[in-house]
Amino acid sequence: MEQLSVFWENTDLKHEFDQWIDEYISNETWHLEKDTDLTYLVHGNGVYAKAVTSISQSEGMLSQYLAHMFPGLVPDVVAVHPVHPWFILRKVSGHPLRDVPDQEQYEVALREYAKLQQRMSGETEQLLKMGVPDRRPSMLREEIESTFVEMSLNLERVQREEVLALKPELLSMCEELESGIPMSLDHGDLHGGNIFWEPESNQPVILDWGDATITHPFFSMRNILFDLLPEEDDTLWIEKIHELRKVYLKEWRHVAPTEILERHMKIAEELGCVYRAITWHTYVTAHRRDKKDSSDKPAQWLKLLLEYRKLQRDTH
């Protein structure tokens, strides 16, 4: 991929962005919310205007598409620029689930998200046309082959050797996930900070779809399950994860037999660590101005893979 440029450092493009959002929301005073090398976000009265780099170029169109198909579950999109990765969306009220953890609200969110994924499994070609990245297991195998050694360089020697020894098993996992459950949309960063609880509807709202891909749907659970209601005691934490995993898998019981669902989930929780490591390595850090801002992320996810495998052994 080419080195990304940040449009909001270009005076002419920044002026064009300002003019464009004023066409849709007139007489608005905009306030800066976020200004990084990945996202430029301003807010007005009940609305946000967002510009992203080509890493997330499909976010606006995808968000608009999802808002139309799942009103209330995805924020309303006012406008999407026809050329640039810019869009305007309605502000979401309420609070992030992470701020006020409530297991029942997490369970509702998991059920609604599973329904979204099942419906979107029939829309993968449409999503690919929008520019949503193709990271299905066959592609993930290629990504592992091309990046695994480089990603492991920031690990300590013993950890690096342990991770590299897992490569054949990880490739086999990719092959197993290629069939049995239809591919679908993965949010890419599904956690309690990107899911709000809307007080008026008393329902979840899922936002920030900039990391979305087409892949195995269960990869989404790697983030959210381990974001939930952490316990100081590892055994209690794992028990809570099992409870919430069952809630999610119950929504898939008509798609595949229970043993297939459970097997795919087990694989996705481990392979999902590698999937996230590659996300940071290939899709984010490689294009940042200051790579130190996230260059440690791949190694963190690979360490998490080792820790999770150990935790699974210790709690069984």
What is the per-residue pLDDT for 239?
82
Q: Residue 1: is its pLDDT beyond 60? A: no
Residue 51: which domain range?
Answer: 7-90
Average pLDDT over the chain reads 91
Q: Note whether residue 2 is domain-resident.
A: no
Instruction: Tell which of 90, 106, 121 closes a domain.
Output: 90
- Model confidence at 225, pLDDT cuts 50, 70, 90, reads confident
What is the per-residue pLDDT for 230?
61
Asked if residue 224 and residue 133 are part of one domain, the reply reads: yes
pTM: 0.92
Instruction: Tell which of 69, 90, 111 closes a domain.
Output: 90
Q: Residue 108: is its pLDDT beyond 50? A: yes
Q: Residue 2: is its pLDDT beyond 60? A: no
pLDDT tens readout for residues 265-307:
999 999 999 999 999 999 887 777 777 778 889 999 999 999 9
pLDDT tens readout for residues 17-68:
999 999 999 889 999 999 888 899 999 999 999 999 888 999 999 999 999 9
Asked if residue 224 and residue 80 are part of one domain, the reply reads: no
Asked if residue 61 and residue 105 are part of one domain, the reply reads: no
Q: How many domains does the chain have?
A: 2
What is the per-residue pLDDT for 268?
97
Domain containing 229 — which CATH number? 3.90.1200.10
Which whole-number Å values give the CA distances from 20 to 10, 13, 80, in the listed order?
15, 10, 10
Domain containing 42 — which CATH number? 3.30.200.20
Asked if residue 171 and residue 50 are part of one domain, the reply reads: no
What is the per-residue pLDDT for 312?
77
312's CB contacts (< 8 A; 6+ apart) are none
Mean pLDDT confidence for 242-257: 95
Q: Note whether residue 253 is domain-resident.
A: yes
Q: Note whether residue 36 is domain-resident.
A: yes
Q: Residue 248: is its pLDDT beyond 90? A: yes
Asked if residue 255 and residue 270 are part of one domain, the reply reads: yes
Instruction: Tell which of 90, 116, 134 closes a domain.
Output: 90
Judge contact between 273 and 305, C-beta under 8 A. Answer: yes
Asked if residue 309 and residue 265 are part of one domain, the reply reads: yes
207 phi, psi to nearest 5 deg: -125, 180
For 295, what's the count of Cα atoms within 13 Å in the CB-facing half-sphere?
9
Q: Note whether residue 195 is domain-resident.
A: yes
In 3D, which of 62, 208, 221, 219 has the Cα closest to residue 140? 219
Characterize 60-99 residue by residue with b for buried, 16 or more Cβ atoms within 10 angstroms of its Cβ, and e for exposed: bbbbbbbbeebeebbbbbbbbbeebbbbbbeebebebbbe
